[in-house]
Structure 1
Amino acid sequence: MADTAIDEAAEAGAVVVYKRIFKEVLESRPSGMRLRLAHAMGKNRSFVSQISNPAYPVPIPVQHLNTIFDVCHFPPQAKAAFLRAYARAHPRRIGRLTEGAHERTLTLHLPDLGSAKRNAELDALLQEFARRLIAIMREK
């Protein structure tokens, strides 16, 4: 029982370390970066605030790391320090970062169609098109 508490405390400490690194990088970027990052991850701005705040125990999901690195333009030293702390905090998750296909984010600027419903339909159509096209390209 005591070992579990020690492991949890060590993990929490490592989470704080990588979140501090993330917060420093994020704060050194131009204003609007949180919103840009939220859009790239398909989340809202408050999610970015939670995962970048060392005071919150919410871990950063591994599937968002490459997007974070790309959008925030992590300096190589900060990325290396972040990954070391992330690996200490989540030793079983870090392997998933290198597994499988890597993703990248593309931001499209579309016209506002004047209706939330029509905008959502266009967004869904483009996302489905991208998924199908990628599936076709992977078959070759």
Structure 2
Amino acid sequence: MNAETEGSGTEATAMAEYKGILQRLLDNRPSGTRQRLAHALGKNRSFITQITNPSYAVPIPAPHIETIFEIAHFPPQERQAFLDAYDRAHPGRLQRAQSGRRIRTATLHVPDLGNEERNQRLDHMLSELAVQIAKIVEGGQ
């Protein structure tokens, strides 16, 4: 761990453990999985790097966990190991998040614009639009 790691040693170790599980799993997934995960969470790819790198003290927000499980196709054993480590790192956070509104993934079928950069810009724009609509529906901003 580096100087950015916060919390007790046990919590920091548990955070590094669950991030390591996610990092190893994503390393064995097809190319583009990290980008799909970033889009599904409405975040930049750098956020995915931060939440998967055990050296960073950025915790994974509990509301994102189900989406991560879905996109990364967590096998049951890894899912349980991840949840156990997450609960040790952030006691009670999972229960609070589960009592709130759940997030789900919706798939849109859009035309291929014939250009990878334009396709990525469209995907990002649609993802951001969905996040903003959800905030309005939930009474936020």
TM over 0.5: yes
Structure showing greater radius of gyration is 1
In 2: Cα distance, 1:68 partner to 1:11 partner: 21
**What is the root-mean-square deviation in Å for CA atoms of aligned residues?**
3.0
Q: Does 2:123 match 1:127? A: no
Distance of 1:107 and 1:13 partners within structure 2: 36
| Mapped contact 1:14–1:89 kept (Cα < 8 A) | yes
Q: TM (normalized to structure 2)?
A: 0.73
Query: Are the aligned partners of 1:40 and 1:107 in contact in 2 as well (CA < 8 Å)?
Result: no
Which amino acid counterpart does residue 130 of structure 2 have in structure 1?
Q
Long gaps (5+) in structure 1: 1-6, 136-140
**Mapped partners of 2:44, 2:96: distance in 1:** 24
Shift of 1:96: 2.2
Instruction: Give the corresponding residue for 2:82.
Output: 82
Quickly say closer, same or farther: Cα 1:123–1:37, change in 2 above 3 A.
closer
Structure 1 residue 57 displacement after superposition: 1.2
User: What corresponds to 1:103 in structure 2?
Assistant: 103
> Does the 8 Å contact 1:67/1:104 carry over to 2?
yes
Distance 1:34 1:48 in 2: 7
Residues 17-56 of structure 1: pairs in structure 2 closer than 5 A? 17-56=17-56
Shift of 1:97: 3.7
Could you tell me which amino acid in structure 2 is paired with residue 82 of structure 1?
Answer: F
Partner Cα separation in structure 2 for residue 10 and residue 21 of structure 1: 17
Between the aligned residues of both structures, percent identity stands at 51
Corresponding pairs, count: 122
1 or 2, which has the higher helix percentage? 1
The AA in structure 1 aligned to 2:108 is L
- TM-score, normalised to structure 1's length? 0.74
SS of residue matched to 2:82: helix
Q: Partner letter of residue 30 of structure 1?
A: P
